[in-house]
């Protein structure tokens, strides 16, 4: 591992433990050349899952694309980076648990929406409006109908 500060490959591991979401190993390192400390995360290399797009093309599954989509949906919402990281890890774990080699983009979108619905309803609707390509207010209403049916009625004041 090269030091991010002096770029030399001369370090030692000070501490090693599982990350909070359990998907990686967090290592605290100290560069023996410059003496600075830094953290690295190691993930086990998994067999790459391909995402089958609408046009039939295939692309490798990317947790970064999932993260960017969640960040856009959660923009200006009271959701922390840690919550987004946890949600990305949960989605990634579900993908690797449910699919062997390929996942259709449609199924991946549904999986993301399931997790978003539990995280934040507004972020869910934002993501759904782009993912399902809403054309008018009626599309929003149809998406919200099941969520509104689950809520208790609002009492008049």
Question: Positive or negative CA dihedral for 128, 130, 132, 135?
Answer: positive
- 130 pLDDT band, cuts 50/70/90, is confident
DSSP β-ladder status, 102-104 and 11-18? unpaired
Average pLDDT, rounded, for the chain: 89
Q: In 3D, which of 117, 105, 70 has the Cα closest to residue 89?
A: 70
pLDDT in the model for residue 19: 80
What tens digit of pLDDT does each residue of 27-44 get?
Answer: 999 999 999 999 998 987
Q: In 3D, which of 107, 101, 98, 92 has the Cα closest to residue 54?
A: 107
Q: How far is CA 77 from CA 46, 74, 87, in A?
A: 32, 5, 15
User: Averaged over 53-60, what is the pLDDT?
Assistant: 94
């Amino acid at each position: 591992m090269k030091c991010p500060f002096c770029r030399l490959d001369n370090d030692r591991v000070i501490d090693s433990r599982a990350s909070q979401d359990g998907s990686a190993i967090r290592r605290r390192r100290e560069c023996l050349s410059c003496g600075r400390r830094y953290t690295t995360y190691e993930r086990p290399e998994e067999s790459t899952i391909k995402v089958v797009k609408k046009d039939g093309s295939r692309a490798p599954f990317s947790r970064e694309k999932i993260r960017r989509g969640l960040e856009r949906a959660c923009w200006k919402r009271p959701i922390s980076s840690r919550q987004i990281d946890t949600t990305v890890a949960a989605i990634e774990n579900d993908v690797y648990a449910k699919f062997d080699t390929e996942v259709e983009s449609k199924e991946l979108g549904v999986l993301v929406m399931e997790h978003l619905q539990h995280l934040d309803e507004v972020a869910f609707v934002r993501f759904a409006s782009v993912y399902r390509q809403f054309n008018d207010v009626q599309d929003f209403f149809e998406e919200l109908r099941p969520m509104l049916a689950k809520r208790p009625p609002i009492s008049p004041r």
